[in-house]
Structure 1
Amino acid sequence: MTSAATAAVLDAERAAGSGAALELRGLRRTFGATTALDGLDLTVEPGELVALLGPSGCGKTTALRVLAGFERPDSGAVLVDGEDITRVPAHRRDTGMVFQSYSLFPNLDARGNVAFGLRMRKVASAERRARAEELLALVGLPDHGTHYPHQLSGGQQQRVALARALAVRPRLLLLDEPLSALDAKVRLTLREEIRRLQLELGITTVFVTHDQEEALSMADRVAVMRGGRLEQCAAPAELYARPATAFVAEFVGAMNRIPGHVGGSGEVEVLGTRLPVEGPHTDAGEVDVLIRPEGLEVAADDGGTARVVGTTFLGATTRLSIRLADGTAVKADMATHAAAELPSGTLVTVAPHARPVLVDRRAAT
Structure 2
Amino acid sequence: MTVPVHLKQLRRKFGSTVALDGLDLDIAAGEMVALLGPSGCGKTTALRIVAGFETADGGELLMGGEDVTSVPANRRDIGMVFQSYSLFPNMTAAENIAYGLRVRGRGAAIRKERAGELLELVGLPGREGHYPHQLSGGQQQRVALARALAIRPRVLLLDEPLSALDAKVRLSLREEIRRIQLDLGITTVFVTHDQEEALSMADRVAVMKDGRLEQCAAPGELYDRPATPFVAEFVGTMNRLPGTVRDGGVVELFGRRLPIHGERPAVGAEVDVLLRPEGLAVGAADDGAGTPATVRVATFLGPTTRLHLTTDSGAECKADLPSWEATALAPGARCTITPHENPVLVAERAGAPSLKV
User: Which of the five TM-score ranges fits, normalised by the shorter chain?
Assistant: over 0.9
Out of 317, 340, 348, the residue aligned to residue 335 of structure 2 is 348
1:287-341 deviation line (CA, Å, top 9, x unaligned): 0000000000111215763111110001111110100122221000011111112
Q: Which has the higher helix share?
A: 1
Matching of residue 51 in structure 1 with residue 34 in structure 2: yes
Secondary structure, aligned partner of 1:334: strand
Secondary structure, aligned partner of 2:25: strand
Out of 187, 193, 196, the residue aligned to residue 176 of structure 2 is 193
4+ residue segments displaced more than 6 Å: none
Q: Superposition pairs for residues 318-337 of structure 1, below 5 Å?
A: 318-337=305-324
Answer whether contact 2:292 2:337 (CA < 8 A) is retained: no
Amino acid at match of 1:239: L
Secondary structure, aligned partner of 1:349: strand
Matched with 1:313 is: 300
1: CA distance between counterparts of 2:185 and 2:248? Answer: 49
Matched with 1:298 is: 282
TM-superposed deviation, 1:361: 0.9
1: CA distance between counterparts of 2:350 and 2:332? Answer: 30
Secondary structure, aligned partner of 1:47: coil
Q: Superposition pairs for residues 213-292 of structure 1, below 5 Å?
A: 213-284=196-267, 285-292=269-276
Matched with 1:94 is: 77
Out of 119, 128, 142, the residue aligned to residue 136 of structure 1 is 119
Matched with 1:74 is: 57
Amino acid at match of 2:25: L
Answer whether contact 2:199 2:219 (CA < 8 A) is retained: yes
Matched with 1:204 is: 187
1: CA distance between counterparts of 2:266 and 2:351? Answer: 16
Tell me the number of residue pairs that the alignment of Structure 1 and Structure 2 aligns.
Answer: 348
Matched with 1:11 is: none
Answer whether contact 2:205 2:216 (CA < 8 A) is retained: yes
User: Given the two structures, how large is their TM-score scaled by the length of structure 2?
Assistant: 0.96
Unmatched 5+ residue regions in structure 1?
1-16
2: CA distance between counterparts of 1:361 and 1:255? Answer: 15
TM-superposed deviation, 1:136: 1.1
Amino acid at match of 2:88: F
Is the deviation greater in 279-288 or in 68-77? Answer: 279-288
Matched with 2:325 is: 338
Matching of residue 111 in structure 1 with residue 111 in structure 2: no
2: CA distance between counterparts of 1:341 and 1:242? Answer: 32
1: CA distance between counterparts of 2:303 and 2:351? Answer: 38
Unmatched 5+ residue regions in structure 2?
353-357
Out of 166, 182, 193, the residue aligned to residue 149 of structure 2 is 166
Identity %: 66
Q: Superposition pairs for residues 16-35 of structure 1, below 5 Å?
A: 17=1, 19-35=2-18
Secondary structure, aligned partner of 1:305: strand
Amino acid at match of 2:20: L
Matched with 2:164 is: 181
Matched with 1:362 is: 349
TM-superposed deviation, 1:263: 2.1
Secondary structure, aligned partner of 1:103: coil
Amino acid at match of 1:219: A
TM-superposed deviation, 1:364: 4.8
Amino acid at match of 2:315: T
TM-superposed deviation, 1:148: 0.9
Secondary structure, aligned partner of 2:325: helix
Is the deviation greater in 126-135 or in 198-207? Answer: 126-135
Answer whether contact 1:300 1:342 (CA < 8 A) is retained: no
TM-superposed deviation, 1:53: 0.5
1: CA distance between counterparts of 2:257 and 2:26? Answer: 38
The alignment's C-alpha RMSD in Å is 1.1
2: CA distance between counterparts of 1:67 and 1:222? Answer: 17
Amino acid at match of 1:103: S
Amino acid at match of 1:315: G
2: CA distance between counterparts of 1:246 and 1:254? Answer: 12
Amino acid at match of 1:331: K
